[in-house]
Amino acid sequence: MPTHAMQSNKAAKTNSPDDFTPEQVKELTDALNPLLADVFALYIKTKNFHWHMSGPHFRDYHLLLDEQADQIFKISDDIAERVRKIGGQTIRSIGQIARLQRIADNDYEFVPAHGMLEELGADNRALVKSLREAHQIASDADDYATTSMIEVWIDEAERRAWFLFEATR
């Protein structure tokens, strides 16, 4: 390993600025990094469906998915920075995202519009479940900043799921 790489590895190790124990930092990091991977997976899937949308409601669905993708992407930096603020290490690569993500990719050449909306609705509900689990871990660690952020993200994901549900009725 080159010397500069070893030096950067040493510099990357942080102490918890909020007096979290090493165990709490690990638990929080282990909850937030898969959440971040899911956010990236959901963002890419939402953009995929946005790009490949077709049908009589194309314009409305196309715009809805673009709006939702923007909202999803915006939380990615907040999650990663929160991991760093508490003293943890976060995602570094597409490969790491692939190993951690729980939201499945969709590589099908064609998905009908209704199927896209249903799948994204289910994925947003799954994200809510994962957010609630991460919230409990943060709450157990008295990590008020993380719990506060997660509460907003839960509301946003529930709203996305609701819009997608209503669009499929």
Written as six digits, the tokens of 167 are 């669009």
Q: Would you state the pLDDT for residue 156?
A: 98
Mean pLDDT of 92-98: 98
Residue position matching structure tokens 């909306």: 117
Nearby residues of 39 by Cβ (< 8 Å), 6 or more positions away:
72, 73, 75, 76, 79, 127
Report pLDDT for 47: 98
Q: Rounded CA gap, 26 and 9, in Å?
A: 18
Summarize pLDDT for 119-130 with one digit per residue, the tens: 999 999 999 999
Rounded CA-CA distance 78/16 in Å is 17
* Residue spans per domain, the chain: 20-102+112-167
Distance CA 57, CA 146 (A): 38
CATH number of 20-102+112-167: 1.20.1260.10
- Residue 115 scores a pLDDT above 50: yes
> pLDDT by residue (tens digit) across 18-64?
689 999 999 999 999 999 999 999 999 999 999 999 999 999 999 99
pLDDT at 2 over 70: no
